[in-house]
């Protein structure tokens, strides 16, 4: 049994499950965009901050971050052989992905909290 958390079958399964969710949610986004009778900032905002859609977007963000991390990590591990450069690039990618995820969740959480206080 492997001591590494993201080695072997587990990252493969995470990659496939996240890919399926990303594809299905993208189809749902396209359907919502095409079937909308009107478009505008307020309608989009109301759609986004509906609780069901907010959870879906949150899961989408998590899926994209995991999918990106595993894919980029595998490419870096396969093609960058200098250990110090590999660690530096992995840390840089992890920082960018973590920052992007925190920024996206800050937007979702702040708007949901703001809407619940206003209403």
Q: Which CATH number do you get for residue 85?
A: 1.20.1300.10
Q: Is residue 57 part of a domain?
A: yes
The count of other CB atoms within 10 Å of the CB of residue 6 is 14
Q: How far apart are CA 15 and CA 111, in angstroms?
A: 30
Residue 16: domain span: 9-118
pLDDT digits (tens, 9 = 90+) for 20-74: 999 999 999 999 989 988 888 888 888 888 888 988 999 999 999 999 999 999 9
pLDDT band (50, 70, 90) for residue 101: very high
Q: Is residue 1 part of a domain?
A: no
Structural domains in the chain (count): 1
Measured between alpha carbons, how far is residue 84 from residues 32, 80, 88, 91, 96 in Å? 46, 10, 6, 11, 18
Q: Is residue 29 part of a domain?
A: yes
Instruction: With a cut of 80, say whether residue 119 has pLDDT above it.
Output: no
The larger pLDDT score, comparing residue 2 to residue 108, is at: 108
pLDDT band (50, 70, 90) for residue 85: very high
79: DSSP letter: H
- pTM for the whole thing? 0.82
Contact 69, 94 (CB under 8 A): yes
């Amino acid at each position: 049994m492997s001591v590494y958390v993201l080695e072997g079958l587990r990252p493969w399964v995470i990659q496939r499950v996240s890919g399926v969710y990303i594809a299905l949610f993208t189809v749902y986004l396209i359907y919502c965009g095409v079937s909308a009778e009107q478009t505008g900032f307020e309608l989009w905002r109301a759609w986004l901050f509906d609780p069901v859609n907010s959870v879906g977007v949150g899961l989408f963000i998590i899926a994209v971050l995991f999918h990106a991390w595993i894919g980029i990590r595998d490419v870096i591990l396969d093609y960058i052989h200098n250990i110090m450069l590999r660690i530096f690039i992995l840390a840089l990618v992890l920082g960018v992905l973590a920052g992007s995820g925190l920024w996206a969740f800050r937007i979702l959480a702040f708007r949901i909290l703001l809407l619940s206080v206003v209403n």
